[in-house]
Amino acid sequence: MDFLFATLQQTIAAYAWPLFRISSMLMVMAIFGASTTPTRVRLLMAVAITVAVAPMLPPMPQADLLSIESTFITIQQILIGVAMGFVSLMLMQIFVLTGQIIGMQTSLGFASMVDPSSGQQTPVVGNFFLVLTTLIFLSVDGHLVMLRMLIASFDTVPVSTSGLEVGTYKQIGEWGAYMFGAALTMSLSSIIALLIINLSFGVMTRAAPQLNIFAIGFPVTMIGGLIILWLTLDQIMSHFDEVWQAAQVLLCDIAGLQCKLDGVP
C-alpha cells in the first residue's frame, strides 16, 4: 500500500511541479498574461504544455507532496516562471514608455485609452506602440522561444529547493534600468526634433509678439509630432531586434543556458 502511495505521489509530482513553473510564466508573460486573455484559456494552455513536455523532463525530486520541502520546491518553481515571464513584460514596456514620451512631447498625450495588458489609462501613442510590438513579438515567434527556454531550464535549473541564485534577481532589477534607458534612446531623436520646433516658435514669438503662440504652435507641434512618429516607425524593427536580443540573453542567464550569437539556446 505504501508502495502504491509513493508511486502516486511521484506521478503527481512529475506533472504538478512543471505545471507550476509553466503556468507561472504564462501568468506574467506578455500577451498571455494580459487581462484580456481569459484565465481558463491560460490554464488550459499551461496544462496542455505540461502534459506534452512532462515525459521528457528529468526525474523529479523524491519529496513528500505534503511536506515543508515540497512547499519550498513549489515556491521556487513559481519564482522561476514569474522571473522569465517578467522579462517579456519589461520588453513590451520599453516601447510603451517610448510611445508615452513621444506622446507627451507632441501634445498627443491628451488622448488616452485603456491599456489591455494592465487595465490602466495610458496615452494612445503608447498603446499604438504596444499593439505594434505585440504583433512583431508574435511574428518572430518570441513566445515559442520563451517556451523553449523554459522547457530547457528544467535541465539547467532542475526542480529542487535551491532555485535561482541571488545574482539572477539582481540582473532582473538592473534590466529595469536598461528598460528606461532603451526607451529614452528610442525617443531621443523625437525629443530633439520637437525641442527644435518649440525653440523656433519661441524665436518667432520674440520677433513678432502679436502672434498667438497657443493658436499657432499647438496644431503645428501636433502635425510635426505625427510626422516624427511616422519617421520613428521606420526604425522600430531594428530597435526591437536589439532589445529582443538583450532580453534573450537575460532569459538565458535566468535559465542557466549557453546562448548562441542570436540569443537562442
> Residue 210 has what pLDDT?
66
Helix (H, G, I), strand (E, B) or coil at 263: coil
> Under a CB-based contact definition with an 8 Å cutoff, are residues 24 and 82 in contact?
yes
Domain ranges within the chain, ordered by starting residue = 2-255
> Residue 22 has what pLDDT?
92
Whole-number Å distance between alpha carbons of 59 and 65: 15
Taking the model in full, what pTM does it have? 0.80
The answer for 119, left when phi > 0, alpha when psi is -120 to 50, beta otherwise, is left
Lookup: cell for 126: 503608447
Tens-place pLDDT, residues 206-227: 776 666 666 666 777 778 777 8
Tens-place pLDDT, residues 25-76: 998 888 888 777 788 888 899 999 999 988 888 888 877 777 788 888 889 9
